[in-house]
């Protein structure tokens, strides 16, 4: 369905702000290297909260922003790669925290890594044929799957959550494109729980290969979604991409001839929060007054799998 409106959004930060200089004390790295190679200055880490707690905080803010009664929510979808437990789903835990136990509400998680929020919105827009008010959340506590001795990964990631509420409406438009290709070489993986690897393990990444994938996948997704929505790149007021690396965003901007001031960036503050990144960025852009009625926007992500996708939005 294309007649879809985001009626509210919100985000939650984890409590501990970790600066690059803090990481200099843990691994052989430097503030200079991290800033130059990634654009990241800090990230938020939790030591007290689960993914469902951050998801719940973001959800409450989205509900307040939308000014709706919580009981209207009849579907909850949480995109995460770091759920509290294998079962029940984080979405069911959020439902409980919102006081919706016993209410008819369909809640489940999805894992599409850093493309999770884009996949979530895409799926939710189709589900509006059946449900009236869908809460889509991207939430992560990546700090628990990070090897804090591995400088290749620990400088990049952070924890957090973002949420959006969607409803059917003639006043908004949403068009989506999603794709997965497979990652046969295992360039981005957290292997725990396979037959061979029963212990929980850490996130492993070949940064160069993921970089290469990202600068192909994001432009492809943007082109595809604009084609489906019958829009041109110059018509788009604001791009909200997955926040992984400023150099990736600069590559994409150059390749697609997008002025950099049309791209929302908060990776300097948050680092890469995987499924949560686009959701947090959307809510923060709205909070900062950067999103106005009638604006045309594109959200786009890429991640492990390899997954990728984009959402075209008329606000
Ligand atoms: O959501 C998707 C998740 N992942 C991504 O988006 C990652 C995409 N990739 C990237 O962002 C970049 O590839 C990285 C930031 C991960 C790495 O940047 P790079 O420019 O590709 O660096 P590199 O891996 O080629 O490493 C260059 C050098 C190496 O040293 P030598 O071999 O040249 O002596 C690394 O060992 O930098 C070294 N290095 C570091 N030095 C200081 C790698 N990590 C660090 C570090 N601090 N944290």
Distance of CA 172 to CAs 114, 133, 257, Å?
A: 25, 14, 26
Mean pLDDT of the chain: 96
151 close to ligand 1 (CB < 6 Angstrom):
yes
190 close to ligand 1 (CB < 6 Angstrom):
no
Strand boundaries in the chain, DSSP class E: 4-13, 16-19, 42-45, 75-79, 106-110, 133-140, 160-168, 173-180, 188-190, 203-205, 238-241, 296-303, 307-314
Count of domains forming the chain: 1
pLDDT digits (tens, 9 = 90+) for 21-62: 999 999 999 999 999 999 999 999 999 999 999 999 999 999
pLDDT by residue for the chain (315 residues), tens only, comes to 899 999 999 999 999 999 999 999 999 999 999 999 999 999 999 999 999 999 999 999 999 999 999 999 999 999 999 999 999 999 999 999 999 998 999 999 999 999 999 999 999 999 999 999 999 999 999 999 999 999 999 999 999 999 999 999 999 999 999 999 999 999 999 988 777 766 668 999 999 999 999 999 999 999 999 999 999 999 999 999 999 999 999 999 999 999 999 999 999 999 999 999 999 999 999 999 999 999 999 999 999 999 999 999 999
* 251 is annotated as an active-site residue: no
CA-wise closest residue to 51 among 153, 199, 159, 163? 159
Per DSSP, what are the bridge partners of residue 263? 239
Catalytic hit among 75, 92, 114, 190: 114
Gap from CA of 236 to ligand 1 centroid (Å): 32
* 41 is annotated as an active-site residue: no
d(CA 51, CA 55): 6
Q: Calculate Rg over the CA atoms of the chain.
A: 18
Name the residue range of residue 246's domain: 1-315
CA angle (61 as vertex; 60, 64 as ends), nearest 5: 90
* Probe residue for ligand 1, chosen from 39, 207, 214, 274 as the CB with the greatest number of ligand atoms within 8 Å: 207
Where residue 115 sits, what CATH number does that domain have?
3.40.47.10
* 114 is annotated as an active-site residue: yes
Distance of CA 277 to CAs 53, 119, 163, 216, 218, Å?
A: 17, 13, 11, 19, 15
251 close to ligand 1 (CB < 6 Angstrom):
no
Catalytic hit among 20, 50, 111, 272: 272
Residue 134: partners with Cβ closer than 8 Å, 6 or more residues away: 73, 74, 75, 76, 77, 124, 127, 128, 165, 166, 167
The atom of ligand 1 lying closest to the CA of 29 is 47
Determine how many CB atoms are found less than 10 A away from the CB of residue 144.
14
The atom of ligand 1 lying closest to the CA of 274 is 1
Record the pTM. 0.97
pLDDT digits (tens, 9 = 90+) for 126-172: 999 999 999 999 999 999 999 999 999 999 999 999 999 999 999 99
* Residue 211 CA, distance from chain mean position: 17
């Amino acid at each position: 369905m294309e007649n879809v409106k985001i009626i509210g959004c919100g985000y939650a930060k984890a409590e501990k702000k970790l600066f690059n200089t803090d990481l200099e004390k843990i691994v052989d790295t430097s503030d200079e290297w991290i800033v130059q190679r990634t654009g990241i200055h800090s990230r938020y880490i939790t030591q007290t909260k689960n993914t469902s707690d951050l998801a719940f905080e973001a959800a409450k803010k989205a509900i307040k922003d939308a000014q709706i009664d919580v009981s209207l929510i009849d579907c909850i979808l949480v995109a995460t790669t770091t759920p509290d437990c294998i079962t029940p789903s984080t979405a069911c835990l959020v439902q409980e925290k919102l006081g919706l136990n016993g209410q008819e509400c369909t809640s489940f998680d999805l894992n599409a890594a850093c493309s999770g929020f884009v996949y979530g919105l895409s799926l939710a827009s189709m589900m509006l044929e059946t449900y009236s008010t869908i809460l889509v959340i991207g939430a992560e506590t990546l700090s628990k799957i990070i090897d804090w001795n591995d400088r290749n990964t620990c400088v990049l990631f952070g924890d957090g959550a973002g949420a959006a509420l969607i409803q059917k409406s003639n006043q908004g438009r949403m068009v989506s494109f999603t794709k997965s290709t497979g990652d046969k070489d295992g360039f981005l993986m957290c292997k725990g729980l396979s037959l061979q690897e029963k212990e929980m393990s850490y996130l492993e990444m070949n940064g160069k290969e993921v970089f290469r994938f990202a600068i192909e996948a994001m432009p492809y997704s943007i082109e595809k979604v604009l084609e489906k929505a019958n829009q041109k790149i110059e018509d788009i007021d604001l791009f909200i991409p997955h926040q992984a690396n400023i150099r990736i965003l600069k590559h994409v901007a150059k390749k697609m001839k997008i002025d950099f001031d049309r791209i929302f960036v908060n990776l300097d503050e948050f680092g890469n929060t995987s499924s949560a990144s686009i959701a947090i960025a959307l809510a923060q852009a709205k909070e900062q007054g950067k999103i106005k009625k009638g604006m045309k926007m594109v959200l786009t992500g890429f991640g492990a799998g390899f997954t990728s996708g984009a959402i075209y939005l008329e606000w």
